[in-house]
Structure 1
Amino acid sequence: MGSSNMSTRQMDTATDRRPIRRNGMADPHMFSNKTSNKPSWETVPSAISDSQISSNEEFDVVIVGAGCAGIFAAHSAAEQGLKVAVVEKFSGLSARGMDNAAVNSKLQLASGEKIDEDLIFADLIRFANNRVHPELVNIWVRQSGRVFDHYIDLCQANDMQVALVDCFSVAKEHPDLYRQYPTAHIFAGKGQAISTGNEYVPTQEAFLKFVEAQCIELGVSFQYNTSCERILRDGDGPVSGIIGKDAENNYVKLTATKAVILAAGGYTENQEMVDAWCPAANDPEIKTYGPEGGNSGEVFAQALWTGAGLQNWPHPVMVHTIPGFNVDLMTGNQSFMHVNRLGKRFQSESMPNQTLTDGRFRQPGKQAWAVFDAKYEQDHATFETGFDGPVNEPIEQLNGFADKGWVHRADTLEGLAEQMGIPADTFAATCKRYTEMAKKGKDEDFNKESYLMFTIEQGPFYAVPIRSHLLVTVGGLDCDPDMQVLDNDGNKIEGLYAVGNMQGNFFANEYPLMAPGLSHGRAITLSYVLGERLAEK
């Protein structure tokens, strides 16, 4: 049977309805909102015959996806002298965000920000409840510094800017409670604005375009407007390449003599996959993350057709209060009081952003508001800026939002409660108790850090509805410590690797905010290390 035809394994997967069990648990492929309990990805499409293929190129490494992980895997492999192709369904690379995490880069060490590698490693494993491969996390902890040094040198030699991002450390009275590590680096174009806090500046695109240009100089073939349609595997043999479809709807075959690397992102736009593998991704109110169609999960399905397994479900997810949009961003401030629609406070607000979101999701109707008074600018005057730190909109601008109905504003707490549609007596009592505890410097209800508590007593009073934004799923294919994809029995699939958000077993539970930029940092470091390792094969 030729490598372009449907394998025996694929045909078995299409017809066998029995749930495969892994680690004593039914395989997550079998969970779906469909009445048949058969997910769409278990129906393998017809094989693409050799006669349908218009061209065939051979490479050492074929990479599916030109996002952060794919670009750095390509650059690393090409630097090692490998012949590399990158297949991408869009017309150009995909870039978002701005923070990139590393441990003990030359930039950090020069600024006196030496990180305890053993401690951050232990914290990440503990945060994941040991539901990850420690070896994968260890690659980032121990090798991100030297990988980032390489890109710091490369960028600075080409007039790119490199900067560290300040972090806002939430836990001051109990510093071991929510440790924050100064991991975030920003790489920006010459003269480009740089954010050192929560303000979103899209510097990542400049960084990835710079690395893409370096890849092209090294001979990497970027095949844009070309979607991956099949991952080629004959039976239980190695993965040998992919079949893509170009802009003219021609099938093209790319043979890979060393590896196919899957770097096609998450699956937040595939509702069936979200329901089956990551139902927590249904909770956020806002679910847009560009480019549209970029996280549709089709490459996950193609991997499953080859027999690939998944990281144990439910998969982790990255959720924040909505980033970068005026007054909505203020709701992430841990210095405000949060109340639910019963008019009651329900948690310590001095927790990391995503942890606060988890607490809101368990409230009636998932509703909550951030409440503060007219002196918030004065209250925040001495706060440091930085990642996950307080964000202030000038009061004139805040009042403008209130005039438009985006923010509740009233001269009395009772009037504010009426606008919010919550019980006025309960709400007023909640504000009174919070104010009393702020004056005493002790949160007797939830142990909030006292320096983050401010009285609510000077009108006008404000309440901002809290919303959250789904960014990406950060769980993926079952991968071993070599980044090699495993089948449903835990065996290596020779020639198949996954990086970035297609790679499982690096994150569990949810995305940890203790190391800002870790999603990009993981993608850059592990992809670079993988390129080096493939050159040694």
Structure 2
Amino acid sequence: MSKIDRRSFLKKAVAGALGTGAAVALAGCSNAGSTSTGASSTAEAIYTPGTYTASAKGYDSEVTVTVTFDETRITNVVVDSSGETANVGAAAADKLAEQVLSAQSSAIDGVTGATNTSKAVKAAVADCISQASGGAIVEGGDVSVQEEITVGGNTDWLGQAPEIAESEIAQTLQTEILVVGAGNAGLMTAAHAAALGAEVLVIEKGISSMNERHWLGAVGTKAAKEAGVEVDKNKLVAELCRYASHRCDERLIRLWADNSGEAIDWYAEQVQKYHPDVKLHMEWDVGEGGHDTYYVPATMHNFQDDIPEHDYSEATSSYGLSSLTQLLTDNNGQVMYETTLVKLEYDGARVTGAIAKAADGSYLRIEASKGVALCCGGYAYNKQMLATLNPDAYISTVEADASSLNTGDGIKAAMWIGADKDPDPTAMLFDRGVIAPDQLSDGNWDKSGYFHLGSQPWLKVNLNGERFCNESVPYDFILHAAYMEPHHLYNTIYDSSWAEQIEQFQQIGCARIIPSKSGGKLQIFSLEAEQGLLAGMEAAGFIQSSDTLEGLAEKLNLPVDAFVATVQRYNELCAKGVDEDFGKESSRMLPLQNPPYYGCRQGASLLCTLDGLRINTRMQVLNTVGEPIEGLYAAGDCSGGFFAHNYPEYIVGVAVGRTLTEGYLLGGYLAQA
């Protein structure tokens, strides 16, 4: 084992990677030039030589793979994942192609963080192999193999810290601050600390940073003041505590309320430093359009630019975390991608650093003189951990919009050395998961779709064809209500007037389709784009349609008589303008009377978990008796104390706002330590 400084190691790592890549390229050229005349003459022919193409659904798009064969082997692979997320699935194309060429098979490891793209490549390559072999060889095509998951109970999701022998540690790096995770919390922590002069190293197990969320929840920003928006902090804090049944740390909530303005203003300054045409926008007309039952404060911000082809989401994703990364590197900070936390190093008095695993499989010891900041998210994609700690969320979920990187690594590593965790499970669930009308929730998230319009307050019925709650509720509330219904599922029902009804609904946050009246461009998709999405989902069998209510009931596998009676009763109440059964606002009581009628079977779409490590207001991780573990910190979804049981979605952007604020403060504390 040798001990070198961080910068020297990174230079060697880059040089090594270039050398390896060159060797692979030369080997590939040599093989490609000799196989058809050499190997194929001595080995039995198994393929019909030629180039074959196949596609499969990835995360955002169809992923197309083109595979070239000679008689005995794969000679070239091209992966087109350009429609996937730019810095995730799209960036993984070359790596996935290399894996297929090396494995000579569709049975590849895939790229960490690009799970859905990797699955699509496996399926498409298996298709190409089947074509080239005349169907004789079919391998790796089933990308929906179910894990053995135990729901609830006392499963050992935590395990024990792995034992890593000293002889296995290839390098030791030294830094002042080690940040684990290059997402919202990690990059905010790292960039602020580096800007204040600290030496910072970030490790990230993905191939890149993930995109931030579009909504930045904050109070008292310059943008809010310019818009004349004032929020009663005490009322806001009280509402967040009420959502959590006060099973939270009110001091952490007040920390966000009191400091989010400063944190998001600083964030906006950094974005504008690198992108002068980008401005932080405040969305302030959130109270209009029927939300008279729930408290909806004006907290949501997003970045907008003047580039015509950019909608708000592209602007936010393009400029936010990329600016923090640039700020970090401009101040001599570093990010090591494809580097995974293995365990923390704790001497009984303080955390001194961590052991990590590099992309090549070697182990690194990273010594951090000022501390380790765990900013590596929750555990939404650790199915066993989710099914054990939050069985209701696991059972309700039919679709996952969660990052496959979120497997609870930081939470487990801290608990292995005595850290405490929130007692109450909390997941961010959206009413947008959709499955075929003959499916049930079974833990298989690969056979589902994302129904963005699921958050619109149309008629909802259970699998008995009956209405069961007020549809005009926060996103996850209807999912909680549906959990009490048969098979924990329900159906959304609407008609051909859907576009006009959406305009009347005037939703907020990520449910918004119609742009803000305050002059912003805030909408997820245009109505034209929504039409295309709906048509695609109907073609895929997720959305059903019929010119009659009876026909729709049959296609949705609902009892015909009960469903028709429910719709007739609903239309009667719409005509009265008063929801006598469930109290939905009259402005949202819009009848079903313009065929064709549409419907789909729904469950939860899981974004992330929110129960994490217990921390104090300096983001120090606490042990089981409430004492700080020296040298260990956490921020964002890896930390807890802020939410319990549900996510207050009508306080738009509070999750990422909390994350960025904690990261900003933590970066300042660590830099000054």
Q: Please state how far the C-alpha of 1:206 moved relative to its aligned partner.
A: 3.2
CA distance in 2: counterparts of 1:498 and 1:171, whole angstroms: 37
Question: Do the aligned partners of residues 532 and 419 (structure 1) sit closer, same or farther apart at CA in structure 2, a change above 3 Å counting?
Answer: same
Is the contact between residue 505 and residue 588 of structure 2 (CA under 8 Å) also seen in structure 1?
no
The one-letter amino acid paired with 2:475 is N
**Equivalences for 1:142-161 in 2 at 5 Å?**
142-158=258-274, 159-161=276-278
**Equivalences for 1:343-358 in 2 at 5 Å?**
343-358=465-480
Report the equivalent of 2:456.
333
CA distance in 1: counterparts of 2:496 and 2:449, whole angstroms: 17
The one-letter amino acid paired with 2:476 is Q
Question: Do the aligned partners of residues 169 and 422 (structure 1) sit closer, same or farther apart at CA in structure 2, a change above 3 Å counting?
Answer: farther
Find the partner of 1:255 among 367, 378, 382.
Answer: 367
Question: Do the aligned partners of residues 153 and 288 (structure 1) sit closer, same or farther apart at CA in structure 2, a change above 3 Å counting?
Answer: closer
SS in 2 for 1:98: coil
Question: Do the aligned partners of residues 264 and 35 (structure 1) sit closer, same or farther apart at CA in structure 2, a change above 3 Å counting?
Answer: closer
**Equivalences for 1:445-460 in 2 at 5 Å?**
445-460=581-596
Question: Do the aligned partners of residues 428 and 166 (structure 1) sit closer, same or farther apart at CA in structure 2, a change above 3 Å counting?
Answer: farther
Find the partner of 1:527 among 652, 659, 663.
Answer: 663
CA RMSD of aligned residues (A): 2.9
CA distance in 2: counterparts of 1:101 and 1:59, whole angstroms: 32
Is the contact between residue 185 and residue 636 of structure 2 (CA under 8 Å) also seen in structure 1?
yes
Question: Do the aligned partners of residues 171 and 353 (structure 1) sit closer, same or farther apart at CA in structure 2, a change above 3 Å counting?
Answer: farther
Deviates more, 1:100-109 or 1:298-307: 298-307
**Equivalences for 1:9-20 in 2 at 5 Å?**
none
Q: Please state how far the C-alpha of 1:373 moved relative to its aligned partner.
A: 2.6
Question: Do the aligned partners of residues 405 and 253 (structure 1) sit closer, same or farther apart at CA in structure 2, a change above 3 Å counting?
Answer: closer
Find the partner of 2:568 among 432, 446, 449.
Answer: 432
SS in 1 for 2:353: strand
Question: Do the aligned partners of residues 52 and 390 (structure 1) sit closer, same or farther apart at CA in structure 2, a change above 3 Å counting?
Answer: closer
Is the contact between residue 168 and residue 180 of structure 1 (CA under 8 Å) also seen in structure 2?
no
Is the contact between residue 186 and residue 194 of structure 1 (CA under 8 Å) also seen in structure 2?
no
Number of aligned residue pairs: give it: 496
Is the contact between residue 556 and residue 600 of structure 2 (CA under 8 Å) also seen in structure 1?
no
Alignment pair present for 1:233 and 2:355: no
Is the contact between residue 303 and residue 315 of structure 2 (CA under 8 Å) also seen in structure 1?
no
Deviates more, 1:100-109 or 1:410-419: 410-419
Report the equivalent of 1:108.
224
Report the equivalent of 2:203.
87
The one-letter amino acid paired with 1:48 is A
Report the equivalent of 2:240.
124
**Equivalences for 1:174-253 in 2 at 5 Å?**
175=292, 177-187=293-303, 191=307, 195=311, 201=314, 203-235=316-348, 237-253=349-365
CA distance in 2: counterparts of 1:220 and 1:404, whole angstroms: 46
CA distance in 2: counterparts of 1:220 and 1:174, whole angstroms: 45
Q: Please state how far the C-alpha of 1:83 moved relative to its aligned partner.
A: 1.3
Alignment pair present for 1:43 and 2:160: yes
CA distance in 1: counterparts of 2:654 and 2:433, whole angstroms: 17
CA distance in 2: counterparts of 1:194 and 1:396, whole angstroms: 20
The one-letter amino acid paired with 2:332 is G
Deviates more, 1:56-65 or 1:102-111: 56-65
**Equivalences for 1:289-304 in 2 at 5 Å?**
289-290=402-403, 292=404, 294-304=405-415
CA distance in 1: counterparts of 2:152 and 2:553, whole angstroms: 44
Report the equivalent of 1:368.
490
Q: List gaps (5 residues or longer) in structure 2.
A: 1-148, 435-447, 515-525
Is the contact between residue 152 and residue 387 of structure 2 (CA under 8 Å) also seen in structure 1?
no
Report the equivalent of 1:162.
279
Report the equivalent of 2:420.
309
**Equivalences for 1:351-430 in 2 at 5 Å?**
351-384=473-506, 386-387=508-509, 388-389=511-512, 397=532, 398=534, 402=538, 405-430=541-566
Question: Do the aligned partners of residues 362 and 53 (structure 1) sit closer, same or farther apart at CA in structure 2, a change above 3 Å counting?
Answer: same
> Deviation string for 1:176-224 (max 9, x for gaps)?
x31222322223677385545xxx6473353101110111111112222
Question: Do the aligned partners of residues 360 and 167 (structure 1) sit closer, same or farther apart at CA in structure 2, a change above 3 Å counting?
Answer: farther
Q: Please state how far the C-alpha of 1:383 moved relative to its aligned partner.
A: 4.7
CA distance in 1: counterparts of 2:341 and 2:550, whole angstroms: 58
Is the contact between residue 181 and residue 374 of structure 2 (CA under 8 Å) also seen in structure 1?
yes
- What fraction of aligned residue pairs are identical, expressed as a percent? 29
Find the partner of 2:387 among 258, 265, 275.
Answer: 275
CA distance in 2: counterparts of 1:277 and 1:523, whole angstroms: 22
SS in 2 for 1:481: coil
The one-letter amino acid paired with 1:306 is I
Is the contact between residue 96 and residue 202 of structure 1 (CA under 8 Å) also seen in structure 2?
no
Is the contact between residue 140 and residue 525 of structure 1 (CA under 8 Å) also seen in structure 2?
yes
CA distance in 1: counterparts of 2:418 and 2:371, whole angstroms: 16
The one-letter amino acid paired with 1:95 is N
- Tell me the TM-score normalized by structure 1: 0.85
Is the contact between residue 162 and residue 187 of structure 1 (CA under 8 Å) also seen in structure 2?
yes
The one-letter amino acid paired with 1:333 is Q
Is the contact between residue 87 and residue 222 of structure 1 (CA under 8 Å) also seen in structure 2?
yes
Question: Do the aligned partners of residues 403 and 332 (structure 1) sit closer, same or farther apart at CA in structure 2, a change above 3 Å counting?
Answer: same
Report the equivalent of 1:319.
429
Q: Please state how far the C-alpha of 1:513 moved relative to its aligned partner.
A: 0.6
CA distance in 1: counterparts of 2:563 and 2:433, whole angstroms: 28
> Deviation string for 1:73-125 (max 9, x for gaps)?
00111122211111112232222432211112111211222222222111111
CA distance in 2: counterparts of 1:405 and 1:184, whole angstroms: 35
- Tell me the TM-score normalized by structure 2: 0.68
CA distance in 2: counterparts of 1:327 and 1:369, whole angstroms: 14
Q: Please state how far the C-alpha of 1:509 moved relative to its aligned partner.
A: 1.1
Question: Do the aligned partners of residues 413 and 297 (structure 1) sit closer, same or farther apart at CA in structure 2, a change above 3 Å counting?
Answer: same
